[in-house]
Amino acid sequence: MTRGFMDLRGWLALLEKENELRRIRAEVDWDREIGAVSRRALEKKGPALLFETIKGYRGGRCTKVLTNALGDRRRLALALGFPKDVGNAELVQYVMKKNRETIPPRVVTTGPVKEVVVRGDAVDQTEFPVPRWNFREGGRYIHTFSAIVTRDPDTHVMNVGIYRGMIGKKNTTPFLLIKGGQHWGAHFVKYAGKGQPMPVACVIGWDPIMPFLAGSPLPTGVCEWDVMGAYRGEPAQLVPCETVDLEVPAGAEIVLEGFISDDPATYESEGPFGEFTGYVSDVPTPRPTMKVTCITHRREPIFQGCLEGTLPGSYSENSVMSSVQRAAIAWNILTGAGIPGIRDVYVHPITNGVNVCVKITKHYQGQPKQIAAALWGNAAAQYRYKHVWVVEDDIDVSSYEQIDWAVAHRVNAGEGGIVIFPGSFGSPIDPSTPLEDRNVAQLGTGLWNRVLFDATRNWKFERRAEWGGERFPPTVRPAPEDEARVRERWQEFGLGDV
């Protein structure tokens, strides 16, 4: 389902055509109100929201805010070139395939993102209507849906990721930067080892494929710009930055350039933030801080961000993306590990990929443990795959009810049905983890106790003739011939309307 690149304005036009965009012309306050409106729209499974009148920003450098653009699976399908009602397996299989392909970008001399250039003392991030998304957050988070671009100083391969960052001073942005497990963290360590600050470019607003792939842990050494090209079937057009040695999309709305130093004297307080877990994370902490040296943007740019925090019945954009992307990444990991019989991989949006459900045709008793080990040993497990559920191919992994039934009657904790892998690298924002195990400055990342739920039927049991030669008792479902006879007589029973 290849489609060419589209900038943010082309994406908005498609959303409007599909009746998936609502323009909010009434004045709203950037301080908490945009976040509250966004939360209610997510709860109602509502459209993308384009706020066109922001309090204090009439006639300013930037007057519009877009959010909730990928806040529904229908819009994610549109972004990937599919009909809104496409099935999960088709979407996940497509993402699995495209994640393994590349088309290198093409560097051009200029583009719309260079229409306005702001340098040095003129840089002021508060000229953009950056929301304070939640009343408990530590500040105005300018980077919630931005693509953060860095370059490996040794291989010169760029990385494009999504990381949270809030406005500090008018020209500084403290980030939650994890040195262990994140690609830009590895770059940061290399620059620090050379005694140099790390060049950074932050891209706000472009083709929706950008946040979809920036939020996905592709293999080390693979540049997301190249994979985006494969998805779109053509090279991404990039332009050189003004003050850092990086390239960014020529059609982006806004780009902030600068440097991050590992000198603690440059750190500024960051947090707390309403994280994807649905909880307000951590406490205010000194963190690595970007010094913004230049901002380039289109005329009348549109600021794009997202309300984080997934709650029951209220899925954030991140959770919608994770439901497809994290399933596809896990499936590729398992395929690459040579594990047979993988039938489906599903991530329920409510968990953002912290829980992953794998359906298999069981080939051997230790297969579920092999699945968990493959996932937990991969760098993609930094913030995800904390809990692994493995079921057999008679279970629909998209149904919590069916998984719950399998767990109730096939998990035997004393027979290896539950396996705990303690002290693994993991998430520093998990509210269930003690603060001392989330000390990134000391540990490099967070520590997790991961769990496998093996809800497959135990092969230690002997096959029994009274069970039809199987190791497990049969279910109570009627015989196929009885079900067929009942279907034929359904009208006769007076149940035709049931």
190-215 tens-digit pLDDT: 999 999 999 999 999 999 999 999 98
> To which H or E segment does residue 269 belong?
strand 268-270
Check: CB of residue 12 under 8 Å from CB of residue 75. Answer: no
How far apart, in Å, are the Cα atoms of 184 and each of 41, 222, 244, 385? 33, 13, 15, 21
What percent of the chain shows pLDDT beyond 90?
86
Is the whole model's pTM more than 0.85, yes or no?
yes
> Superfamily assignment of 8-304 in CATH?
Electron Transport, Fmn-binding Protein; Chain A (2.30.110.10)
pLDDT band at 260 (very low <50, low <70, confident <90, very high): very high
CA distance 197 to 200: 9
pLDDT at 36 over 90: yes
**In the chain, domain spans:** 8-304, 317-454
198-204 and 254-260 as β-strands: parallel, antiparallel, unpaired?
antiparallel
CA distance 168 to 285: 12
pLDDT at 50 over 70: yes
**Positive or negative, the Cα torsion across 452, 453, 457, 459?**
positive
Least confident segment among 39-53, 270-284, 290-304: 270-284
Q: Which CATH number fits domain 317-454: 3.40.50.20, 3.50.50.60, 3.30.70.1290, 3.40.1670.10?
A: 3.40.1670.10
What are the pLDDT digits (tens) for 1-27? 667 999 999 999 999 999 999 999 999
